[in-house]
């Protein structure tokens, strides 16, 4: 080798040794849907909030295990049962250099409760927010609420001056013709700032050096690209163009694990998938039974429950990527969930129950199901239909895209269904939400349990829910919750199926924390 | 001439209105946009308020009139998903789609014509048979499948070409971005253009082959041969020229459909063009985007047809005689 060649080679080696270190801190990842806009209050949806959670912060935040820890508030206390006092962190800067103060909290909470906000449920309507001093804020409630800050990780705090300066106080509604500054730009206190946002194409983030906390991640840059096609998303990970993609379809799990340089991270998700039954109409809309509603009889509901082979669904359809559930809430979110067990799969018992109820020859029933919302949703419904056929219940399955499906079965469609599938995660990570939104009695206008599509109603459960809402002692509270769940279990208010698993495809270069709420936060990522 | 153009123009307007009406009534069946715009646990009152603000509670004729009046002024409203004016969204996506379509059309012509000529002249050679089998694949395999096959071969296995996106783009002026000027941009163009152009290439190849077979049997080719012209001159100067007329017509018409129906290819390759925007809009019931796309597509076809009609009128004197 000539002298020139040697020195050239030496330069080349030096350059290639340096190159990975310089590039290592860029994270590239893909998700199935786009980040539609950056306004933190306009869409209450996990992915959007999770992305914005890298830029904005709330008064509290949650760690890898979803435990609450202080964020923009350093500490908080109950001054009296209806007055919460939050002591704000000092010396926190927004990404534009402005100081974070109590005024920003009041401003953000007002904006969050304003017209066009989709996050109004973050705090009770009549809550008053009072500034005590520049770094202390009181939240005054009309009735006690022991879980007040539980949803506040995603109650992001915006900068008052920045928002007013850019005329973005009003949240962009879809009827406006000019986009709001805040829906295309972001200015939070979080570990990353948005450097480029082209909706539906790409969003890039950069490390924010002025972050108040010590960074445990080693990223300088993050590039997010939405990739809608499952096959392309998986291919982008396998080819090394992406460091992380999610979600991964169940049929590709083995491919990614067997690739040698990528792996699949799985874990139970918080969402519970379940089946619901119309228990309120006097005659079902879609059934061969006329003049009465078979679902009003608890024996029929239990027969349906016991006819479903949940382990079969878990193994054959979910390929092990689901955990059968006895409750309507993830076991991670309720301390006493271990006391509850599913009714066993027993087609004979199910048949006997149907006979007792007066349907020895079964009947036919229309079932509604989404086909693009949950993991393998329509395949699960098909399996349920064939399992019910064994107890002589003929299911006419109607699987539809989510846009059409939800338009029909929710309040806006007049709860137009007899037998349906739904998935639910309590946004507060707390059982009370299940009792209030899914199990509470409702009227035809949807007052009460608005998402209680089947209209299950047990006044005793409602009474317990009222007590749970204001009970401040955790142990008594869990007792009450267990009582309520026992009642709904005995009533077979729903047929809980399972918690589906999260499936993230990850390059072996990455170490990261997978949170059970499917939030992907860059501050938990390190890249070698 | 003016009267003819004017009549055609009126017809075009009627077609556009009909498309608008069909598009508009279709949206009644795609689902409820409000459900896609809010989170699951959003209250019923908030949903109702949003519906009211969007004007979804107004009577249908009113909604339609509002839609047509705005569309005539190129105001397609605000996207439900992105909360941005639809016109801006499309303006950003048009360069991607046009560059992809142009490259695919070029690929179809540059590969299709020589292959067609060869297959027409050497009917029995094994290479012609290979071309014909390949073209069969091009016609019979669905686009998304070809796309995925190419991705797994060239991106995952060989790791030569990117599996998604446009690569690095360069801005030209304030309204155009191009991938032609960077290496990664050019590499990113290869797989999607082959996928999108394969069908057209096949079509052109088979067309040229058939025409070629026809033409070389005609008297003037025999005559040319008798004059002692070289094969090259006969085939390329005399035969090919005559086969090109139908090819040009077809290419022109196909260009419209390449642009309009790049949807599938754009989705497979996450190509940030109009088609991808449209498919995302369908999934999320983003009515303003869907409406704009359908109107734009219809406008494209109507204008192409309008121009073709006028050209025929200029070229073909018989049409003019009938007028008189």
**What is the predicted pLDDT for the residue at B234?**
84
- Which pLDDT score, from 0 to 100, does residue A445 have? 76
Residues 254-283 of B with CB under 8 A from A: 267-270, 272, 276-277, 279-280, 283
Residue A177 has pLDDT above 70, yes or no: no
- pLDDT surpassing 90 at residue A187: yes
Helices (H), A113-192: 160-165, 181-184
R_g (Cα) of chain B, nearest Å: 24
Distances, alpha carbon A321 to alpha carbons A251, A387, A390, in Å:
11, 20, 25
Neighbours of A176 (CB within 10 A): 18
Q: Distance between CA A82 and CA A304 in Å, rounded?
A: 44
ipTM here: 0.81
How many residue pairs from chains A and B have C-beta atoms closer than 8 A? 180
Evaluate the CA torsion angle A275, A278, A284, A286 in order and state its sign.
negative
Q: Rounded to an integer, what distance in angstroms lies between the CA atom of residue A391 and that of residue B121?
A: 68
Query: What's residue B319's pLDDT?
Result: 64
Closest CA–CA distance from residue A210 to any residue of chain B (Å): 30
Give per-residue pLDDT as tens, A469-528: 888 888 999 999 999 999 999 999 999 999 999 999 999 999 999 999 889 999 999 998
Beta carbons of A236 and B164 less than 8 Å apart: yes
Residue A19's pLDDT is what? 40
For chain A, count helices (H), then strands (E): 15, 19
**Tokens linked to A22:** 């310089």
A376 sits in the region (left: phi over 0; alpha: psi -120 to 50; else beta) called left
- Phi first, then psi: give them for residue B4, nearest 5 degrees: -60, -50
Instruction: Please give the Cα distance from A268 to A500 (Å, whole number).
Output: 6
CB nearest to A183's CB, from B40, B83, B284? B83
State how far the Cα of A244 lies from the Cα of A520, in Å rounded to an integer. Answer: 10
Cβ within 8 Å, pair A406-B55 = no
Q: Which residue matches tokens 């000019």? A: A178
Domain map (residue ranges) of chain A: 3-243+509-527, 272-501
> In whole angstroms, what is the distance from residue B19 CA to residue B25 CA?
10
Cross-chain Cβ contact B53/A175 below 8 Å = yes
Dump pLDDT digits (tens) for A147-157: 888 889 999 99
In A, which residues are within 8 Å of B84 by CB distance?
37, 179, 183-184, 199
Helix axes B183-215 and B126-140, enclosed angle (nearest 10): 120
Q: Which of A287-296, A341-350, A473-482, B136-145 has the lowest mean pLDDT?
A: B136-145
The burial class, CB within 10 Å (0-12 / 13-18 / 19+), for A262 is buried
CA distances from A251 to A247, A316, A380, A497 (A): 12, 12, 15, 21
Question: Taking the domain A272-501, which CATH number applies?
Answer: 3.10.105.10
What pLDDT score was predicted for residue A10? 43
Q: Which CATH code is given to the segment(s) A3-243+509-527?
A: 3.40.190.10
**% residues pLDDT > 90 (chain A):** 66
Polymer length of chain A: 528
Evaluate the CA torsion angle B61, B62, B68, B71 in order and state its sign.
negative
Q: How do residues A247-295 score in pLDDT, each as one tens digit?
A: 998 888 888 998 889 999 998 899 999 999 999 999 999 999 999 999 9
pLDDT tens figures, A24-60 = 589 999 999 889 889 999 888 889 999 999 999 999 9
Q: Per-residue pLDDT for A4 more than 70? A: no
DSSP string, A353-413: HHHHTT-TT--EEEEEEESSSSTTHHHHHHHHHHHHHTTTPEEEEEEE-HHHHHHHHSGGG
Q: How high does pLDDT run on average in chain A?
A: 89
Q: Which residues of A touch B49 (CB under 8 A)?
A: 115
Compute the 3-state secondary structure of chain A and give helix, strand, coil in percent, each to the nearest 5.
35, 25, 45
Report the pLDDT averaged over residues A440-452.
Answer: 84
B211-238 burial by CB neighbour count: b if 16+ within 10 A, else e? bbeebbeeeebeebeeeeeeeeebbeeb
Instruction: Answer for the pair A515, A504: CB distance below 8 angstroms, yes or no.
Output: no
Task: Supply A145's token pair.
Answer: 């609420």
Mean pLDDT of chain B: 84
Judged on CB neighbours under 10 Å (0-12, 13-18, 19+), A248 is buried
Put simply, the chain A residues between 226 and 255 with a CB less than 8 A from any chain B CB are 226-229, 231-232, 235-236, 238-241
Q: Using an 8 Å Cβ cutoff, are A68 and A161 in contact?
A: no
Arithmetic mean of pLDDT, B296-308: 82
pLDDT at A175 over 70: no
For B:130-149, CB contacts with A below 8 A are: 144, 148
Average pLDDT of the residues in A360-389: 92
Residue appearing with tokens 């309520």: A484
pLDDT band at B121 (very low <50, low <70, confident <90, very high): confident
Q: What are the structure tokens assigned to A433, written together?
A: 């939400």
Q: Which domains does chain B have, with CATH numbers?
A: 91-275 (1.10.3720.10)
What is the number of other CB atoms lying within 10 angstroms of the CB of residue B46? 19
| pTM, 2 dp | 0.83
Nearest partner of A375 among A439, A314, A433, A291, judged by Cα: A314
**Higher model confidence: residue A72 or residue A37?**
A72
| 3-state SS class at A497 | strand
Q: Do strands A394-400 and A364-370 pair parallel, antiparallel, or not at all (unpaired)?
A: parallel
Q: Tell me, what's the pLDDT at B25?
A: 77
- Report the DSSP beta bridge partners of residue A77: A85
Statement: residue A12 has pLDDT above 60: no
Is the confidence at residue A22, as pLDDT, over 50?
no
Provide the pLDDT confidence category of residue B52 given band limits of 50, 70 and 90: confident
Q: Provide the pLDDT confidence category of residue A1 given band limits of 50, 70 and 90.
A: very low
pLDDT greater than 70 at residue A361: yes
Which helix (H) or strand (E) is A498 found in, with range?
A: strand A495-507
| Position with higher pLDDT, B252 vs B140 | B140
> Is A180 at the interface with chain B, CB within 8 A?
yes
Confirm or reject contact between B28 and chain A (CB < 8 A). Answer: no
Q: Is some CB atom of chain A closer than 8 A to the CB atom of B284?
A: yes
């Amino acid at each position: 080798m000539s002298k020139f060649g040697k020195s050239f080679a030496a330069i080349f080696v030096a350059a290639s040794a340096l190159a990975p270190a310089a590039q290592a801190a860029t994270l590239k990842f893909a998700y199935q849907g786009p980040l539609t806009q950056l306004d933190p209050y306009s869409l209450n949806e996990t992915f959007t909030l999770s992305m914005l959670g890298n830029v904005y912060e709330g008064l509290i935040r949650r760690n890898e295990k979803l435990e609450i820890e202080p964020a923009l508030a350093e500490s908080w206390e109950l001054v009296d049962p209806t007055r919460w006092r939050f002591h704000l962190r000092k010396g926190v800067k927004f990404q534009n250099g402005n100081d974070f103060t109590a005024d920003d909290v009041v401003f953000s909470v007002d904006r969050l409760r304003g017209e066009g906000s989709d996050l109004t449920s973050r705090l009770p309507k009549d809550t008053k927010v009072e500034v005590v001093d520049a770094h202390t804020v009181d939240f005054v409630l009309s009735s006690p609420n022991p879980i007040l800050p539980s949803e506040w990780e995603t109650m992001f705090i915006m900068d008052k001056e920045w928002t007013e300066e850019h005329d973005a106080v009003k949240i962009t509604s879809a009827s406006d013709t000019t986009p709001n500054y805040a829906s295309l730009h972001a200015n939070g206190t979080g570990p990353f700032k948005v450097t480029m946002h082209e909706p539906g194409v790409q969003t890039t983030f950069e490390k924010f050096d002025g972050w108040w906390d010590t960074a445990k991640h080693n990223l300088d840059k993050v590039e997010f690209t939405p990739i809608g096609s499952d096959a392309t998303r998986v291919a982008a990970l396998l080819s090394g163009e992406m460091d992380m993609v999610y979600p991964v379809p169940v049929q590709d799990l083995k491919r990614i694990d067997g690739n040698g340089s990528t792996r699949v991270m799985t874990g139970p998700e918080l969402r519970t998938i379940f089946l619901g039954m119309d228990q309120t109409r006097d005659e079902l809309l879609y059934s061969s039974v006329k003049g009465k509603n078979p679902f009003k009889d608890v024996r029929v509901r239990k027969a349906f429950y016991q006819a479903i082979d949940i382990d079969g669904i878990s193994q054959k359809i979910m390929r092990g990527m689901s955990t059968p559930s006895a409750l309507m809430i993830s076991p991670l979110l309720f301390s006493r969930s271990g006391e509850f067990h599913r009714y066993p799969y027993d087609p004979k018992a199910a048949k006997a129950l149907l006979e007792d109820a007066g349907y020895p020859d079964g009947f036919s029933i229309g079932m509604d199901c989404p086909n693009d919302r949950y993991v393998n949703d329509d395949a699960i419904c098909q399996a349920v239909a064939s399992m019910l056929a064994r107890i002589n219940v003929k299911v006419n399955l109607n699987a539809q895209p989510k846009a059409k499906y939800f338009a029909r079965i929710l309040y806006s469609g007049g709860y137009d269904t007899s037998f349906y599938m739904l998935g639910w995660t309590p946004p507060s990570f707390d059982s009370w939400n299940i009792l209030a939104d899914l199990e509470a009695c409702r009227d035809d206008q949807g007052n009460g349990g608005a998402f209680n599509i089947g209209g299950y109603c047990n006044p005793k459960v409602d009474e317990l829910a009222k007590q749970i809402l204001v009970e401040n002692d955790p142990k008594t509270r869990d007792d009450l919750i267990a009582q309520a769940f026992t009642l709904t279990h005995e009533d077979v208010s729903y047929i809980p199926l399972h918690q589906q698993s999260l499936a993230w495809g990850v390059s072996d270069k990455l170490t990261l924390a997978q949170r059970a709420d499917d939030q992907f936060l860059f501050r938990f990522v390190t890249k070698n | 001439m003016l009267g003819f153009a004017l009549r055609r123009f009126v017809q075009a307007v009627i077609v556009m209105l009909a498309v608008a009406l069909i598009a508009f009534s279709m949206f009644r069946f795609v689902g409820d946009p409000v459900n896609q715009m809010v989170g699951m646990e959003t209250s019923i009152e908030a949903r109702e308020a949003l519906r009211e603000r969007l004007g979804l509670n107004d009577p249908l004729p009113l909604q339609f009139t509002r839609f047509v009046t705005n569309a005539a002024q190129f105001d397609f409203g605000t996207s439900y998903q992105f909360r941005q004016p639809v016109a801006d969204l499309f303006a950003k996506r048009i360069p991607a789609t046009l560059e992809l379509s142009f490259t695919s059309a070029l690929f179809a012509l540059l590969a299709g014509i020589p292959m067609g000529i060869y297959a027409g002249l050497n009917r029995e050679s094994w290479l012609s048979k290979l071309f014909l089998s390949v073209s069969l694949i091009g016609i019979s395999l669905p686009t998304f499948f070809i796309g995925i096959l190419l991705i797994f071969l060239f991106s995952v296995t060989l790791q030569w070409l990117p599996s998604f996106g446009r690569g690095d783009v360069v801005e030209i002026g304030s309204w155009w971005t191009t991938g032609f000027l960077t290496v990664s941009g050019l590499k990113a163009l290869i797989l999607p253009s082959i996928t999108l152009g394969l069908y057209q290439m096949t079509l052109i190849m088979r067309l040229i082959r058939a025409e070629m077979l026809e033409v070389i049997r005609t008297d003037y080719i025999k005559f040319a041969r008798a004059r002692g012209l070289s094969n090259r001159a006969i085939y390329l100067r005399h035969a090919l020229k005559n086969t090109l007329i139908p090819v040009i017509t077809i290419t022109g018409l196909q260009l419209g459909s390449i642009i309009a129906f790049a949807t599938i290819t754009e989705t497979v390759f996450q190509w940030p063009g109009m088609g991808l925007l449209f498919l995302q809009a369908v999934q999320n019931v983003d009515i303003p985007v869907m409406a704009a796309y359908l109107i734009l597509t219809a406008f494209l076809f109507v204008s192409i047809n309008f121009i073709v009609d006028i050209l025929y009128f200029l070229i073909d004197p018989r049409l003019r005689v009938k007028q008189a």
